[in-house]
């Protein structure tokens, strides 16, 4: 229980081990020994108002409760004292909930002092290191640390023990349309798929490729390839769209629906040009050829 997790950097671990926190805890913990673990009545602990998670899987809690009944609490929770025999949870809500389900009356706890900003930071950092979070939950936690705890990306990198580029990639997910974020949250697409979709500027094109990815079960490599072939809007290219090409947009859309593919016509004002039909694999190419031959 005394082993430090290096991944926490100077975040949660540093705050918990702070000499100042121990000294201040001594002033308010009264009968509790600083540096030791106190067994606190579960009914005397109130929820953390800064808890970033708003849902917990009941099956997971039942599994943890069963483990607690057999082996007890392996890792103490962390609380702060807010009054006479009154404590507020800082981190460890799953353990606290599961302990209640297991019928425990007391729970081993670290008692620390933390202001509201420290509580939020500690709760978010602890939450980020949970293995069951989806990428959107992690991204939202990073965003709250940046905005509400005024952390730079570099400082946040040190706090959570992640590369700055990794944090940036997570934060970019929050710029995606809600439909794509929900697909990530519900595990219908992976973060790899999402990173490919991010590179598409046009939202409609993003959503079309998202739906095709889900419908066809496309791999990340396939989505990356198709995303690269999607024409990106550009101010420099906009004037070059010919009147002829504009006139053929309805027929382009009709053919795209018929083949269920992202098709684009490239036509100059003399009527010359080409049809672009991107595909993600030879199997998909064969399917397109079959449809064209019908």
Which amino acids are annotated catalytic? 93
| 22: enclosing H helix or E strand | helix 19-29
Residue from 218, 176, 219 nearest 201 by CA: 176
For residue 29, give Cα distances in angstroms to 23, 89, 135, 224: 10, 15, 38, 56
**Whole-angstrom distance, CA of residue 243 vs CA of residue 157:** 51
Which token pair is 185? 């949250």
Measure the CA dihedral 208/212/218/220, to 10°. 10
Instruction: Please state the three-class secondary structure of 171-197 as a single string.
Output: HHHCCCCHHHHHHHHCCCCCHHHHHHH
Measure the CA dihedral 120/144/189/292, to 10°. 170
Residue from 11, 259, 269, 226 nearest 122 by CA: 11
**Whole-angstrom distance, CA of residue 33 vs CA of residue 132:** 34
Q: Which residue in this structure is represented by tokens 């590369």?
A: 163
Q: Are 197 and 209 in contact (CB under 8 A)?
A: yes
Residue from 235, 224, 205, 237 nearest 280 by CA: 224
Interior angle at CA 286, CA 281 and CA 289, nearest 5: 130
């Amino acid at each position: 229980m005394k082993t430090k997790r290096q991944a926490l950097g100077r975040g949660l671990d540093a705050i918990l081990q702070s000499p100042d926190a121990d000294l201040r805890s001594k002033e308010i913990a009264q009968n509790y020994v600083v540096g030791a673990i106190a067994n606190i009545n579960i009914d005397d602990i109130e929820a953390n108002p800064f808890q970033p998670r708003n849902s917990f899987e009941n099956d997971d809690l039942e599994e943890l409760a069963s483990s607690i009944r057999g082996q007890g609490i392996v890792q103490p929770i962390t609380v702060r004292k807010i009054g006479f025999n009154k404590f507020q949870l800082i981190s460890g809500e799953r353990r606290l909930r599961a302990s209640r389900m297991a019928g425990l009356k007391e729970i081993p706890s670290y008692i620390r002092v933390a202001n509201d900003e420290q509580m939020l930071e500690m709760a978010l950092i602890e939450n980020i290191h949970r293995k069951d979070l989806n990428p959107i939950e992690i991204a939202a936690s990073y965003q709250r640390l940046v905005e509400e705890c005024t952390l730079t990306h570099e400082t946040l990198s040190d706090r959570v023990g992640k590369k700055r580029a990794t944090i940036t990639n997570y934060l970019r997910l929050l710029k995606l349309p809600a439909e794509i974020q929900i697909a990530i949250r519900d595990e219908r697409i992976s973060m790899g798929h999402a990173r490919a979709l991010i590179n598409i500027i046009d939202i409609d094109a993003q959503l079309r490729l998202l739906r095709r990815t889900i419908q066809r079960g496309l791999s990340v490599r396939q989505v990356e390839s198709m995303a690269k072939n999607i024409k990106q809007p550009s101010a420099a290219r906009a004037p070059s769209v010919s009147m002829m090409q504009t006139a053929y947009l309805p027929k382009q859309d009709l053919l795209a629906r018929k083949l269920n593919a992202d098709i684009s016509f490239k036509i100059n004002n003399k009527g010359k040009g080409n049809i672009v039909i991107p595909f993600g694999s030879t199997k998909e190419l064969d399917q397109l050829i079959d449809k064209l031959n019908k």
